[in-house]
Structures are given as structure tokens and as C-alpha cells.
Structure 1
């Protein structure tokens, strides 16, 4: 297994901007992202940092704005590739896949924001492109959603996405377990759709 750590949109917009992360607590998730970056750097795992970019007149993620900038704890750490994206998936319109193939990477480790949006989109896109995925549950996060169809708390939304990821798309684990798996050389396994739907089928 050859991994790459992908840090998605760890930008000020999610800390001090218009989209404050609600769950897990943003300071905690940023700390976990930093720990994952440090562990990757120590073990020669490539680190890719992704920034979402919108036009200068956008209310969020506008190029040149404070919200666009990486949070300081992430900006100050070593990385191997920094890319900008304009779509939810970190693959769309970027050099990410080319870089991963050049590095011989077969597994992406997903961290960053938001769980259900850019993290989910990148994870699914990775699977469709033939990569394995590991998804760090406490190094990702989101905020509450509410629209014409209903409302979800940040915790409900985050948990729902993690359950879906584990069911078919990724091996989901906290950062400490991921780092431990690097030390032991034993990957944390995901589940599968059949196992994850067993209770519903038997009901």
C-alpha cells in the first residue's frame, strides 16, 4: 500500500469565516489534521494540500481574501503538492491524479472539510478512479444544514457520512488509529455494503 495524505480546504473560511465548522470542534479537528501531516511527513507519505478557490467577488473562498487562506497550523507544515480546486472533488480540473500516479500512490487518506461535501466527493471520486480510501473521522468536520427538505445538526450529518463511507467507500478511523496502523503496518479495514445492511435485511 502506498498512501498519500490529502488535506482538503483547511482554510480560514471554516474557522473565522462564514462557514464555521460545528462538529467535531474545529480546533480539535485542525489539531488532528496537523498530527496526520506530521506522521505522514515522518514516514515519507506524500502530503497534498488542497485549497478551494472562488472569484474575488464571491462571498466565500474568494481568492485574495482571508477566508481563502489556509489556517496557520496547516500553512506552516511541510507539503509535497499544493493545488487549487473550483469543484467539490479535489480531482476535477486539478493535477491531483497525475501527481498520485507519478508517486505510485494507490490509497488516499482524506482529511479536511466539509465531511459531506468536498471530503465525500473526493473520496467517491477516488474510488471511481481505482484508489483505495482511508477517511479520518476526527480530522474532518462539517456544520449544520437546513433547507426546504429538513435540518441536520453538524454531528448528525458528520456521523451519517462516516457510516456511508465505511459501508462501501472507505476505511474510517480516528487519527490515532491511523497513525498506529502506520506503526504496525496493519491497515484498518473498512466494511462492505452487504454487512452494513444486514440488520435492515433481517428486520
Structure 2
């Protein structure tokens, strides 16, 4: 075992938000499950990461009951489930210790959000010396309002605003920023074929 699949923040917290209706990748859970199945078949480590914001009273507050994986995703026995409070999966968890203890040097990253927790984890992982594969079509994100846009607008108003950064543009920017610098970009089809073919 030298490779680990990091499943980042594929949790109910996001589905509880109105913006979920504008998610970039409605097939996310199915694609993540394909990666998980392939990683398990190859005897690679699967690490589940959840994001928590204790004491905030929002969807990411553990007291909300929403800081849990989206069904039917489910850890198998022995697969670590880590809870982070930072954007990347390393800083506030013992992820590095899990990887070091197993001699893992290659990371495969999927989850939510493409340009936030997934990209940040990829950058930190690369800086720590891991070979990172970023599976963009097994990540998801949402349109981002302009910094001067008023708070509390409806999803329809957000999407109608020409200043809103579209999810497709966020995904493209993330790939441009990561490729050749911090990660290799792969698809679920490419990666599941490569893992199964090992």
C-alpha cells in the first residue's frame, strides 16, 4: 500500500444549503464511490475527511447532525475518518501520521469543494512531498458571488448576476493552477482503469 484516496467533505452539510441546487457535479457521490471501490480493490488506503465548525450553529456545526457522509458512502472497517477545522486536510488532523505509518507517498484527491478544501489539500500535500493526483470530475463546487454582492440573495439572483463566478470557470481555474505544479489531473475513468489494471 503506497497510495491513499482522500475523500474530502462529501457531507450532508452541503446538501442542507440552498446553493446545493447549483452544485457543479450532481453525479459526485456516484463518482466518488467508483474511486472508493477501485481503491479498495487495489488494497489502497481510503481516508474520509469531514469539515466541522464547532459552535457556529450552522450546517458545519457538529451539533447540527449534518457533519456526516452523504449516503450511500460509508467507511469500511479500518478506514480512518478524520474531522478537520481548517481548509486543508492536514493542518488540524493527524492525516500525515496515518500516511507516514503506512508508507504512503501518493495521494488521490476527490470531494467538495473543488477550489477550496480539495485544492488546498492538494497544494499542501504537494508541498509535503506527496505525489498528488487530482480527480476533478470527482469534485464539486458552487458558483461564487462577487465580493461586492449583497449577502442573503436567492440562488436565482446569484446565478443571474453576471459578476458571479460560474462553477465551470472555477473548475477550469483549479485545473490550470494545479496541473504541472501541485498535481496531475485525472478523470474517474482514467484512474479507475489504472487502479484496476495494476
TM score, norm. by length of structure 2? 0.85
Say if 2:54 and 2:62, in contact at 8 Å, map to a contact too. yes
Alignment deviations for residues 25-58 of structure 1 (CA, whole Å, 9 cap, x no partner): 33x0110001100111111100000000111433
Alignment check: 8 A CA contact 1:41 1:78 kept: no
User: Alpha carbons of 1:100 and 1:90: their partners in 2 closer, same or farther (altered >3 Å)?
Assistant: same
- Per-residue CA shift, 1:147-179, capped at 9, x if unaligned? 236531111111210222113111111111001
Question: Corresponding residue for 1:200?
Answer: none
How far apart are the structure 2 equivalents of 1:118 and 1:170? 14
Aligned mates of 1:61, 1:169 — CA distance in 2: 28
Q: 156-165 vs 119-128, which deviates more?
A: 156-165
> Comparing both chains, which one has the higher relative contact order based on Cα–Cα distances under 8 Å and sequence gaps of 6 or more?
2
Report the counterpart of residue 88 of structure 2 in structure 1: 89
Aligned to 1:36: 35
2:57 and 2:64 in contact (8 A); partners too: no
Which range moved further: 62-71 or 36-45?
A: 62-71
Distance 2:179 2:56 in 1: 38
Please name the residue that 2:176 is paired with.
Answer: 163
1:80 corresponds to: 79
Q: How many residues align?
A: 184
Measure how far apart 1:113 and its partner are. Answer: 0.5
Which residue of the partner structure matches residue 138 of structure 1?
137
- Once the two structures are superposed, residues 107-136 of structure 1 have per-residue CA deviations (whole angstroms, 9 ceiling, x without a partner) of 110010100000011000001111010011
Partners in 2 of 1:45 and 1:163 — Cα distance?
28
Q: CA distance change for structure 1 residues 19 and 2 in 2, over 3 Å: closer, same or farther?
A: farther
Gaps of 5+ in 2: 149-162
- Is 1:101 the counterpart of 2:114? The answer is no
| Change beyond 3 A, Cα 1:21–1:128 | farther
Q: Which aligned segments of 4 or more residues in structure 1 are displaced greater than 6 angstroms?
A: none
- Output the CA distance in 2 between the equivalents of 1:155 and 1:48: 27
State the distance in 1 between where 2:117 and 2:41 align: 26
Is 1:15 matched with 2:27? no
State how far apart, in whole Å, the 1-side matches of 2:92 and 2:42 are: 29
Alignment of 1:151-190 (within 5 A): 151-185=164-198
Q: Is 2:38–2:196's contact at 8 Å kept on the other side of the alignment?
A: no
Partner Cα distance (1:64, 1:43) in 2? 36
